[in-house]
């Protein structure tokens, strides 16, 4: 689907969560393995807990509103070019670099919406600076 420039929707944290947590490096792998550099459209939903809980039992609650905030379109071509110049980097380090850039775009949208405190994107990156590569 991604290689045909199709729409792929994912929850990059690996689960549904109300709190911003480190997104999975598989997101970076999807970008690296794509035939064409994907375009990423960050989406931040608010009020999701009113229609879908984080904990069992998982069932929708109808009649509530969800707000959907759309970020700016993010082209990964420049990221892929940048990592192609990093000859000494392992595949994991390249994957983390791409994932970090995508995570920053997503969490900055959450900050703009006012759902997470300003500086959260940078804080989460700094907390994970020692991730094993």
> What pLDDT is stored for residue 30 in this prediction?
92
Nearest to 113 by CA among 48, 46, 66: 46
- Whether the per-residue pLDDT at 95 is higher than 70: the answer is yes
CB 53 within 8 A of CB 18: no
> What pLDDT is stored for residue 16 in this prediction?
64
Between residues 88 and 128, the one the model is more confident about:
88
> What pLDDT is stored for residue 33 in this prediction?
93
Place of tokens 């791409």: 98
H/E run at residue 33? helix 26-33
> What pLDDT is stored for residue 18 in this prediction?
67
Domain range list for the chain: 2-127
- Whether the per-residue pLDDT at 23 is higher than 70: the answer is yes
What is the average per-residue pLDDT within 14-37? 82
């Amino acid at each position: 689907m991604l290689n045909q420039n199709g729409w792929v929707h994912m929850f990059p944290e690996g689960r549904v969560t109300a709190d911003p947590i480190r997104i999975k490096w598989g997101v970076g792998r999807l970008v690296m393995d794509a035939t064409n550099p994907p375009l990423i459209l960050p989406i931040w939903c608010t009020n999701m807990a009113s229609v879908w809980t984080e904990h069992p039992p998982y069932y929708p609650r109808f009649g509530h509103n969800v707000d959907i905030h759309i970020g700016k379109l993010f082209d990964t071509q420049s990221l892929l070019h940048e990592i192609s110049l990093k000859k000494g980097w392992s595949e994991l380090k390249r994957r983390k670099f791409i994932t970090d850039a995508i995570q920053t775009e997503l969490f900055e949208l959450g900050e703009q919406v006012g759902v997470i405190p300003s500086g959260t994107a940078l804080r989460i990156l700094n907390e994970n600076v020692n991730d094993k590569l």
